[in-house]
Amino acid sequence: MYRFASSPSRDMDINSLRIALFNYICAKQSGDMFIVRIEDSDKAKNIEGKDQEILDILAIFGITYDSLYYQSENFKYHLQFASFLMDKKKAFACFCTENELKNEKYSGKCLHVSDDELLNNNLPFTIRIKSDIDSFVIMKQDKYPTYNFACATDDMLQGIKQIIRDKDHILNTPKQELIRRSLGYEDKINYTHIPAIQNIDDKSSVKWLLDQGFMPESIINYLVLLGNEVPTEIFSIAEAMEWFEIDKISEEPVKFDINKLKFINREQIKLIENVELSKRIGYSCASIGKLAKLYTQEENTTAEIKKKIDTIFAPKISEEYKESLDKLKITVKDAPYFEEFEEFKKYLSEKSELKGENFSKALRILLTGEQSGPDLEEVYPLIKNYLQEITK
């Protein structure tokens, strides 16, 4: 069984999505269950609605799960496990203050507090697990579990057998294994630690990337290719499952490269069905989807392309070519339907009596809302059925 654990205290970044994706792919490859755990144990840091946002993002990327757990549902078990460890003298109460511990490794001064001293002491305390190396805290003074204690016991309770996570957690692994052994849990959990993506910032938030018009397929392709010994080509997630091997992930640090993601996104836009692309930018016509693909010559995301298409259908204004533009609007309004662009262009030129730049620039503005862009001979066949709406 594989799992993906995420905290509702922040936006999901692409590193977390990559971890979720790898666990999901490996679970599907092996026929194992895949569960999602919302690690909401730190109530002070939880942000309302972030848990649902995490689940929504997973759904957008086609990552389905067999079970969903909220860590807070296991609080009663965390307390029971901590009490068990204290009863078995495998954990102890620590009355040290934050000032006593500041900039200093734990001294072990509370290790031998007697039961009577514990019962007669009203001071707040943490609970530490006994260890010859580091008697680390497992329960905080507020009686909520620390990350390692909650994570270790939750994995135990949920029967997790395989965990893929980034190398930032590698120092947590022996602590979590100690916790489970102290509780008498002997089942083995196999860990695979992979390098975290570097250079991530606000622009690596999955929500931000989606809002900017990076498509889920493109982000998946980018993350699966990142650090893998495979050809850099565009492929589907289903194809990725056929060759993906977690053991072949490079152990070298990998960096987030938004320009590479832009390239993949642009190529993915070219591959998507025209009607589907049209829907993603707010329309529902194959011609508009095909028109959108013309703008991959200069744009990389669906959000950027949507602005271009919206401008085509918006009212046209130009101070520089106002008179010429007004003439063309009137001319188009009374014009017959033309199948070919050259016939349409010739008709407008003759009827409006406009020449040179006054005609060519005004015509481009009228049809696209801008003075530059794709060749009008390519644009016209895709918008000719909308001319009255476009030239209003």
Query: Which ranges in the chain are annotated with CATH 3.90.800.10?
Result: 76-139
Question: Span 228-241, mean pLDDT?
Answer: 60
Predicted TM-score (pTM) of the model is 0.88
The model's pLDDT over 264-302, given as tens digits with 9 standing for 90+, comes to: 999 999 999 999 999 999 999 999 999 999 999 999 999
Q: Where are the alpha helices (DSSP H) in 216-355?
A: 216-225, 237-243, 258-271, 274-280, 286-294, 302-313, 322-333, 341-352
Asked if the model's pLDDT at residue 49 lies above 90, the reply is: yes
111 pLDDT more than 70: yes
| CATH 1.10.10.350 fits domain 315-390 | yes
- CATH fold of 2-68+148-196 reads Rossmann fold (3.40.50)
Q: Which CATH superfamily, name and number, covers 76-139?
A: Glutamyl-tRNA Synthetase; Domain 3 (3.90.800.10)
Residue 232 has pLDDT above 70, yes or no: no
What the block records as the tokens of 2 is 């594989």
Q: Report the DSSP pairing between strands 137-139 and 126-129.
A: antiparallel
- Residue pair 5/37 in contact (Cβ under 8 Å)? The answer is yes
Please give the average per-residue pLDDT across 52-71, as a whole number: 96
Q: Point out the least confidently predicted range of 189-198, 220-229, 313-322.
A: 220-229
Q: Taking 60 as the threshold, does the pLDDT of residue 386 lie above it? A: yes
Instruction: Tell me the C-alpha distance between 85 and 78, whole Å.
Output: 11
Percent of the chain at pLDDT > 90 equals 73
- Cα dihedral across residues 193, 197, 201, 206: positive or negative: negative
Average pLDDT on 121-146 reads 90
Instruction: Give the mean pLDDT of 5-19.
Output: 94
Name the one residue in this structure whose structure tokens are 């905080």.
140
Q: Distance between CA 138 and CA 42 in Å, rounded?
A: 13
Q: What percent of the chain has pLDDT over 70?
A: 95
Nearest of 289, 311, 322, 330 to residue 372 by alpha carbon: 311
To the nearest 10 degrees (0 to 180), the angle between helices 258-271 and 286-294 is 140
pLDDT of residue 103: 55
Tokens for 117, please give them: 């001293």
Positions of CATH 3.40.50.620 in the chain: 2-68+148-196
- So what's the pLDDT on residue 235? 59
Rounded Cα gap, residues 190 and 161, in angstroms: 6
Locate CATH 1.10.10.350 in the chain.
315-390
pLDDT at 328 over 90: yes
Helices (H), 61-201: 75-87, 98-101, 115-119, 147-157, 172-182
- Pairwise CA distance, residues 50 & 45, whole Å: 11
Please check whether residue 65 is in contact with residue 58, taking contact to mean a CB–CB distance below 8 angstroms: yes
Taking CA 93 as the corner, what is the angle to CA 45 and CA 185, rounded to the nearest 5 degrees? 80
Of the pLDDT bands very low, low, confident and very high (cuts 50, 70, 90), residue 237 is: low
Report the pLDDT value the prediction gives residue 23, as an integer from 0 to 100: 96
pLDDT band with cut points at 50, 70 and 90 for residue 101: low
